[in-house]
Structure 1
Amino acid sequence: MTNARAVPVLFLHGLWLHASSWQPWSDLFAARGFEPIAPGWPGEPGTVEHARRRPEAVAGAGIDDLTGHYAGIVRGLPSAPVIVGHSFGGLITQKLLGMGLGRAGVAIDPAPIKGVRPLPFAQLRSGFPVLANPGNRRRAVSLTASHFRYAFGNAIGRAESDALFARWTIPSPGRPLFEAALANVTRRSPAAVDTGNTDRGPLLLISGQRDHTVPDVVTRATYKLYGDSTAVTDLKQFPDRGHSLTIDSGWRAVADHTLAWLSRQLT
């Protein structure tokens, strides 16, 4: 394996989770010799408490804003990083990798990119609190504990779901959800990814097969879009896991699989 100490790892979170929710992953990757960083979204306050008090700090940020923000961070690193993203962070991971940024990417329950056709009811229901009001495109929106339970914590117990909600959730901009929802009818959609890039680094897509927010069929449809690329693209499905799989009590199994996959790709 390549000397992991020379490899930065950039962790990208998705909607409704704070960047600090990656701390267990960062600690594990650091113990394995990587150099992890988990910067927040543009304008995101440094703590969960501050982010909840200042929802306006992230309101209006869209996919292009996120991509430009993280592309700047990647270009400022001393060497090309591994990029690991969850949900909309997984979409941004794919965009950056398609742009030739990053030595490898892992997209966990990634938000749908342009070209993904399946639109399961569970996904619609998960996005309803934002998409039901067009005005939310310009706002930051919070989830309730009950909606977090449906969208993130459906595969774990209610007590654990409520604890994760209390610990990690923050208001998030509605704009990325609208952009992803309209991607297939938008000519220059910011959710478009260069899936045909044959020179990019290897990509691992991970799916929780009980995920309501990004159902397994959506991740499988994303995987199929890479069929014309000769670059490495792998898919790993975790049965009985939901959208909380990066932060709940089963996170270590996902992280360990990610590390094992990376050890093969970085050799």
Structure 2
Amino acid sequence: MRLIRFDDWASPVPPVRREVRSATPELDEGKPPVLFVPGFGHGAWAFAEFWLEHAAGRGFPAHAVSPRGHGGSGTAPKASLRAYAHDVVQAAASLPRQVVLVGHGAGALVVERALARYPARAAVLAAPVLGGWATFGAAVRRNPGGTLPAIFGGRLRLSRRQLFSREVPDAVAKGYVGRLGRASARAQWQLLLHRAPEPAVGDPPVLVVGSPDDRVVPPSALTSAARRYGGAPLLFPGMGHDLMLDARWREPIDAILDWLEKGGS
């Protein structure tokens, strides 16, 4: 871990109103809190639909943070990935026990950055978009009209077909797509020019989950991400990119919580 980060000293991340949604168990069973981090365009609402209450029902205090510029958090049109990771670290540090970080999509990349600054109990990378031109190339092939504008500072637009399986009714999927916002142009560029993250503090166990039918993240990317942490991805065939909103949303969250109950290994 780097002890001194020049950027943090010379250019501190400015404060912003931060949205955190929570669901807590009826009885405190001593299980670790889980902090969910959404990907670009999504907010805490994406986990509040199903996963927060479900995790709480299984005894896990569950929270979801909207990084600045997303959901109900304060606007930040020039936010960087460092600022997003700062929001995650601040939200995690505000909780009473050591947190499990769960990042979805580009939120997985934010979680990787946060792990270098916060000693998480464990981490989960769900349908991780970990950046680089290979990831961008795959997105262009599947959705050129929604992806190419991001190169020039425009909004990255993901389609219903990319995000959801056919099991999700069109009206429901359209409603979710209509709620999507946008990441800053700066963060989008940093995603493309992504460099390997710093090592995680404390070497926490990391689980990678996703779908081989994801039209945003190819199976090879899931395998590569899992290998970096010494494992194999846990796959859920037939699901779209937005695992937490798809018709079979219970399967991945139950698998994640089962993994945590077994010690996160």
Regarding TM over 0.5, the answer is: yes
Structure 1 unaligned spans of 5+: 184-188, 228-232
**Residues 168-247 of structure 1: pairs in structure 2 closer than 5 A:** 168-183=179-194, 189=195, 192-194=196-198, 199-227=202-230, 233-247=231-245
Q: Alpha carbons of 1:4 and 1:87: their partners in 2 closer, same or farther (altered >3 Å)?
A: farther
Residue 140 of structure 2 is matched in structure 1 by: 124
Aligned residues: 235
Percent identical: 23
Residue of structure 2 in register with 1:40 after alignment: 66
Task: Compute the TM-score of the two structures, normalised by the length of structure 2.
Answer: 0.76
Contact 1:106 1:203 in 2 (8 A): yes
If each structure's helix is expressed as a fraction of its own residues, which one has the higher value?
Answer: 1
Structure 1's consecutive aligned runs of 4 or more residues displaced over 6 angstroms after TM superposition are none
- Given candidates 18, 22, 32, the residue that maps to 1:7 is 32
Matching of residue 152 in structure 1 with residue 163 in structure 2: yes
Q: Which moved more, 1:57-66 or 1:94-103?
A: 94-103
CA deviation digits over 1:8-62, x for unaligned, max 9? 211100112221111111101111222111121114352xxxx8xx9xx242222
Which deviates the most, 94-103 or 9-18?
Answer: 94-103
Alignment check: 8 A CA contact 1:25 1:255 kept: yes
Q: Does 1:20 align with 2:21?
A: no
Between 1:170-179 and 1:201-210, the stretch displaced more is: 170-179
Q: CA RMSD in A?
A: 2.9
- Taking the TM superposition and a 5 Å limit, the aligned residue runs for 1:15-94 are 15-23=40-48, 24-46=50-72, 57-94=75-112
Q: Which residue of 1 aligns with 2:24?
A: none
The 8 Å contact of residues 212 and 242 in structure 1, kept in 2 or not, is answered as: yes
2:258 corresponds to 1:260: yes
Question: Using the alignment, how far apart are the partners of 1:122 and 1:153 within structure 2?
Answer: 17
User: Once the 2 structures are TM-superposed, how far is the Cα of residue 266 of structure 1 from its aligned partner?
Assistant: 5.5
Q: Is the 8 A contact 1:104 1:202 kept in 2?
A: yes
Give the whole-Å Cα distance in 1 for the aligned partners of 2:258 and 2:38: 21
2:229, 2:31 → 1: CA distance?
A: 29
Question: 2-side partners of 1:240 and 1:214: how far apart?
Answer: 14
Contact preservation (8 Å) 2:81, 2:110: yes
Deviation at 1:65, TM superposition (A): 1.0
* Cα distance in 1 for residues equivalent to 2:101 and 2:232: 15
Contact 1:105–1:204, Cα closer than 8 Å, also in 2: yes
Distance 1:156 1:120 in 2: 27
What secondary structure, in the 3-state scheme, does the structure 2 residue paired with 1:265 have?
coil
Pairwise CA distance, 1:119? 4.2
